[in-house]
Structure 1
């Protein structure tokens, strides 16, 4: 299996259709390295959405994120979870000054058709953000039709 080479490596047709990382994924799979080489450029946090009879439960994996860095919004049934982090590390030792800066932001949006804007609860615990969103009461909009 180590002798396999991705087919037509120089061909760039797939990149025009949004599959640029597909080639990189194949190259990583067929490499001889045991350590996977991934690019985190397109990675984001993972979310799970569960629908119960009376509410939605949204869970987002956010390890190392503080609640001050999270912005939650519900607008017209669209729940947006955004994270903005600004990390700065400054150390001074003798003549050496070490400074690192890193800014990152990630966002996910999910559509919840009959989400209620009131009564939403969110809790961040051990890197897991859990959001409970109640559903709107569905009114019976059906009408009985009499036959003549």
Structure 2
């Protein structure tokens, strides 16, 4: 193993800690050994912790994009709270595939085997709250879910606390 790879491996817990600042220590300890051994495996569990959210600003609007693979719009709820300062995305992940017959699969000894039943499922709920730099108008929100990406367009609210003071 190269020195660089060894250093990256040794610092893996530190990088993980930086990636998950709001995670409780109890939840972090309950992670499965499979998460470290097979990094591709916990895709469903990563989603259940909360979706990945990107926020950008364009003029007088915020554009929020959240990755929600496998979530249907009927299992999704978006709320604006705290006087327009917070955005909460909640949902349920209910996916499953079932197959009763499939093509023959060859085994190592030359015999052919046929899968009789295959089942995969992922389920659970998630919630993610982000706080916005400025309040938004909760009556002027557009939401669209397409190809596993939720895109929200939030218009900034008028700053009611801001008052122009005349100087004499």
TM-score between both structures, scaled by the size of structure 1: 0.63
Per the TM alignment, residue 145 of structure 1 is displaced from its structure 2 partner at its CA by 2.9
* Counterpart-to-counterpart distance in 1, 2:40 and 2:93: 24
Gaps of 5+ in 2: 11-16, 18-23, 102-115
Alpha-carbon displacement from aligned partner over 1:5-63 (angstroms, at most 9, x marks no partner): 977xxxxxx9xx93956xx99x94xx7xxx53665645432110112221111101112
SS of residue paired to 1:118: strand
**1:36 matched to 2:35:** no
Q: In angstroms, what is the RMSD of aligned CA positions? A: 4.0
How far residue 98 of structure 1 moved from its aligned partner, in angstroms, is 8.8
Query: Does residue 72 in structure 1 map to residue 75 in structure 2?
Result: no
1:125 to 134, 143, 146: 146
Matching of residues 1-148 of structure 1 within 5 Å: 1=1, 18=25, 20=28, 28=36, 36=39, 39=42, 41=45, 43-76=49-82, 77-87=85-95, 103-112=123-132, 113-138=134-159, 140-146=162-168
Give the distance between the partners of 1:86 and 1:38, measured in 2 at CA: 17
Partners of 1:102 and 1:61 lie apart in 2 by 16
TM-score, length-scaled by structure 2: 0.57
Aligned pair count reads 129
Hey, which of these two has a bigger chunk of helix by percent? 2
Question: What SS class does the counterpart of residue 59 from structure 1 fall into?
Answer: strand
Deviation string, structure 1 residues 65-109 (Cα, Å, up to 9, x no partner): 11111111111221110111345678889xx99988753011111
